[in-house]
Chain A
């Protein structure tokens, strides 16, 4: 056996690991890391003579009423949509991890919207919530007045949140059901013998045992919701009056409709920074609870 082969053999494990990892690492480097670096560079680079770096794109953003409104709308949206989706997912997971009749059918039905592309769901829901659509037909059947839904600055964002819950809750529910299945039955039995009520069992057994899955769902859901674009673009284009202009839609408008790529790059940097801050706070909170 030649020497190089013997040497290779000694490092068999490492070679195998590298073979598996390299494609993923390359993908991360070229598809994630490089665009991020490029976005930062585009945002701070100034062509022409003099110092090549400036914060004037950021200065402009924070004086632009559209950006301020988009930031405000996105934060409000996140504050509502994330707790709402996670609570609904947890509720459904608890319900569907019990031995209900036809439980498989219910789970499939709730998970089904995940299998439909977001853009298709948005088109379908756009029809449902049209002023003359089925949603208003149902209201009329219940003798309630028709609603403007997506054409009203007060209702557009809540309707989009509702649609995103319909799309996303089943997905997050699946992770939580898997977590619930892992909790040892013995813990519940012991608590029952000690006379713990249903609520006490949920609070002191289910929640702490589910913490890892909940942490993942919270972080992943928060990121996914910061990056919502297709439903907004298809349903409202950020309107009426900017009321549903989530930051991803604002970046798109700036970059591709107004033709301001450096402004859009700066806005992307702001979005990623806000996301990093919020996600690290979430991690810290979850870890803090874990150590107690």
Chain B
């Protein structure tokens, strides 16, 4: 072999190695890894993430799941220390004002019109604070009254109507729940989230007692009025009288209903899937209201926020808007945990699927969701102190459920709220 060819070959080989390394380097540098902190079960977003990564080869999503009870502490610890390794995180919509005020959310106001077009004015309100958009709305929510068909039949009770015009009162519901318990149901009634303000705010709103916060900035506690005491006494009695189970946490409540041990349960729409899977005959009805009040249901669910300390803002916007503003992505994001997409187009498709998922058991699903969101939904108070408010209220409900007296517990929570609100600049 002539020496020139040899050296040429060598050069080609060398060049190809250098070239490959360079390509490799460029490819490596372009790959962006986004961390995504949330409190949903594992694999919730797998389908959406897979589709997003295929369409955006340079971006890798790394989900980080923590239990719901630890999410706030995680967000506080990581954003409080300006941790750049957190890019995207799930934000409960009532917490938007607190996190925005603390500087934990990047301003997304540039996407205001796109958000309005995709998710409507309600979702835009829930994700906006002080005139700026801080998160993209992922899901919305409402509550149903679930009932066990067999347990009601056994007690000789008429199943409640799915028609919102024939909504039951709490008084009548608890009366029937006691009858069902006497007839053999282990538990007459249960709230699926037994320690969470989210589930109880509608009780107070139904009788016009207010959300528990007042004032121009919603930073004045208002939880010791006679109406608040009365409703909280009513709540305490459900547990003290043995109508509802005391020691069961949220994570186990739907399974308890699905195993046929609870006659009536107020719970989120996502619980329908759990009960359908268990093949338990059940029905859906609108959430009850107090006889002297009006129907009220909770609303506002999760949104996605971007850390202002993220070094990949553009990629993060691409990812979060795919899960929320894009109809297809939004549908995928609600495929595993069946929460109502905030995206209006995705919600239509979702409602059709959910209504059909359990035959006649879930036939009322779409109509109920649509009616409640349009007529009875009340958002949680929008306050810079909402995170503290919720932590203190949830602990208070847990104490009362365990038997604490109502008036002192409300007074104690009132003093705690005043102390922590005094610390808000």
Chain A residues packing against B (C-beta within 8 Å):
60, 63-66, 130-132, 148, 151-153, 237-242, 252-253, 255-261, 263
A153 contacts across to B, CB distance below 8 A: 404
| A255-B76, A256-B73, A257-B73 known; A241-B399 Cβ under 8 A | yes
Q: Is B419 a contact of A259 with CB atoms below 8 Å? A: no
Main secondary structure of the interface of A (DSSP, over half): loop
Q: Is A241 a contact of B80 with CB atoms below 8 Å? A: no
Q: Is B423 a contact of A257 with CB atoms below 8 Å? A: no
Q: Does B186 count as interface, using CB distance less than 8 angstroms?
A: no
Q: Is B102 a contact of A60 with CB atoms below 8 Å? A: no
Report the minimal beta-carbon distance from A91 to chain B, rounded to whole angstroms. 35
Q: Does B378 count as interface, using CB distance less than 8 angstroms?
A: no
Residues of B398-416 whose CB lies within 8 A of A: 398-399, 402-404, 409, 412, 415-416
Chain B residues packing against A (C-beta within 8 Å):
72-73, 76-77, 80, 98, 102, 246-247, 387-388, 391, 395, 398-399, 402-404, 409, 412, 415-416, 419-420, 422-423
| A132-B247, A239-B399 known; A260-B73 Cβ under 8 A | no
B422 contacts across to A, CB distance below 8 A: 60
A130 contacts across to B, CB distance below 8 A: 247
B420 contacts across to A, CB distance below 8 A: 258, 260
Complex formed: what's the CA distance from A220 to B388 in Å? 35
A131 contacts across to B, CB distance below 8 A: 246-247
A263 contacts across to B, CB distance below 8 A: 423
Main secondary structure of the interface of B (DSSP, over half): helix
A64 contacts across to B, CB distance below 8 A: 419
Complex formed: what's the CA distance from A220 to B42 in Å? 41
| A148-B402, A151-B247, A240-B402 known; A259-B412 Cβ under 8 A | no
Complex formed: what's the CA distance from A202 to B390 in Å? 56
Q: Is A257 a contact of B72 with CB atoms below 8 Å? A: yes
Residue of A nearest to B391 (CB): A257
B412 contacts across to A, CB distance below 8 A: 65, 241-242
Question: Which 7 A-B pairs have CB atoms at the shortest separation, nearest pair first?
Answer: A256-B73, A151-B402, A64-B419, A256-B76, A258-B388, A257-B391, A131-B247
Residue of A nearest to B70 (CB): A256
Q: Choose among A60, A256, A259, A261 the residue that contacts B98 (Cβ–Cβ < 8 A).
A: A259
Residue of B nearest to A262 (CB): B423
Residue of B nearest to A257 (CB): B391
Residue of B nearest to A47 (CB): B425
Complex formed: what's the CA distance from A74 to B247 in Å? 27
Q: Is A66 a contact of B419 with CB atoms below 8 Å? A: yes
- Can you show 25 pairs from A to B with CB atoms below 8 A apart? A60-B423, A64-B419, A65-B416, A66-B419, A131-B246, A132-B247, A151-B246, A151-B402, A152-B402, A237-B395, A238-B395, A239-B399, A240-B399, A240-B402, A241-B399, A256-B73, A256-B76, A257-B73, A257-B76, A257-B388, A258-B388, A258-B420, A258-B423, A261-B80, A263-B423
